[in-house]
Amino acid sequence: MSLTTITGGAGFIGSNLARRVQANEPVRVLDDLSSGYRSNLQSLDVEFAEVDVEKDDLPSRLNGCSRLFHLAASVGNKRAIDHPIRDSQVNVIGTLNVLEGARQNEVGTVVISSSAGIFGELKTLPIREDHPVDPDSPYGVSKLAEEKHGLVYAKLYDMDVVALRYFNVYGPNQRYDAYGNVIPIFVFQMLEGKPITIFGDGEQTRDFVNVSDVVDANIAASEIYGLSGAFNIGSGTRITVNDLARMLHEILDIPWNVEYGPPRPGDVRDSLADIAAAQEAFGFDPKVEMYEGLVEYVAWAKTVVDA
């Protein structure tokens, strides 16, 4: 029987992917729990090992694996600016360690989590895969290196490697992190009665994609034999940060206060994915509407705050 391995499988996206995959086949989760949570794997039938992809012996951890999803990462522009060496240690050296482990174990398919952060400030909208890459932070640089290493391995060795360039992913299991996505930051601050801070004028736009759609993309991309390349994974829609805050206020229906601060280094003004290539290559079709996804996320966040 085939075995799927997920690095970073106790994290936000990885645990949602593990939940979906384990319903149909054995899953091995590798995670150092630096940002993942064992509680994300509760009730799941998965094999778990506490593993640091940067330092540990990956070849021995990938024995018997036929499909590998690589989600272990240091995530975010602000975190990378504050800790640039750590960012590349995890995202570049860690990815090379994973790829070497996959090569030595003859893993047929590797799906790598990349980021829209590789593009930097945008020249055109929507963003196609051939948009110039000019990262504005060490995170974008490390993610670009990560996907380039993966695609080189696809050329050199007998493996399919797909790099999925995530835009702003949100959904259940995404906890508050000051370095993280604006949605959990806003939601958890609102639930705790704290003012939210919008950096800049709030009219900057973001393409938010629900984690359920991202899981669909990972699975679909892994099932196309002979597919290698880089693909945008977003919703194909965008919303201003101001409108996002108003939408969350409507859903939460609690008093709130907004403060505005200066724009943050490394943040782009606008973002919107062109997802036509992913649609054509593996049928990617995002289904979760923004309001519906936020209602689900708020309901999950309340269980964390009340715990």
pLDDT at position 178 is 63
Residues paired with 115 in a beta bridge? 166
Q: Of 25, 71, 17, 63, give the one whose Cα is nearest residue 41.
A: 17
Report helix, strand or coil for 137.
Answer: coil
Residue in 139, 153, 166, 297 annotated catalytic? 139
What is the C-alpha to C-alpha distance for residues 80 and 197, in angstroms, rounded to an integer?
20
Torsion from C-alpha of 208, 213, 218, 220, nearest 10 degrees: -140
Q: At what angle are helices 182-191 and 290-306 packed, to 10 degrees?
A: 50
What is the C-alpha to C-alpha distance for residues 35 and 62, in angstroms, rounded to an integer?
21
Active site residue 179: no
DSSP 194: P
Q: Along the chain (307 residues), what's the average pLDDT of each consecutive run of 10 residues?
A: 91 97 96 94 95 92 96 87 92 96 97 95 92 93 97 97 97 83 94 93 96 98 97 98 96 89 88 97 98 97 84
Taking the CA atoms of 181, 291, 216 and 9 in sequence, report the sign of the dihedral they define: positive
Q: In this structure, are residues 8 and 49 in contact, taking their beta carbons and an 8 Å threshold?
A: no
Q: At what angle are helices 290-306 and 241-252 packed, to 10 degrees?
A: 60
Structural domains in the chain?
4-174+208-234+270-288 (3.40.50.720)
Q: In this structure, are residues 256 and 196 in contact, taking their beta carbons and an 8 Å threshold?
A: yes
pLDDT at position 179 is 63
Q: In this structure, are residues 229 and 151 in contact, taking their beta carbons and an 8 Å threshold?
A: yes
pLDDT at position 306 is 76
Q: Of 53, 155, 169, give the one whose Cα is nearest residue 115.
A: 169
What is the C-alpha to C-alpha distance for residues 162 and 151, in angstroms, rounded to an integer?
7
- Distances in Å between the Cα of 176 and the Cα atoms of 37, 51, 114, 152, 278 are 13, 23, 21, 35, 30
**Each residue's pLDDT tens digit, 25-84:** 999 999 999 989 999 999 999 999 999 999 989 999 999 999 999 999 988 878 888 899
- The predicted model scores a pTM of 0.95
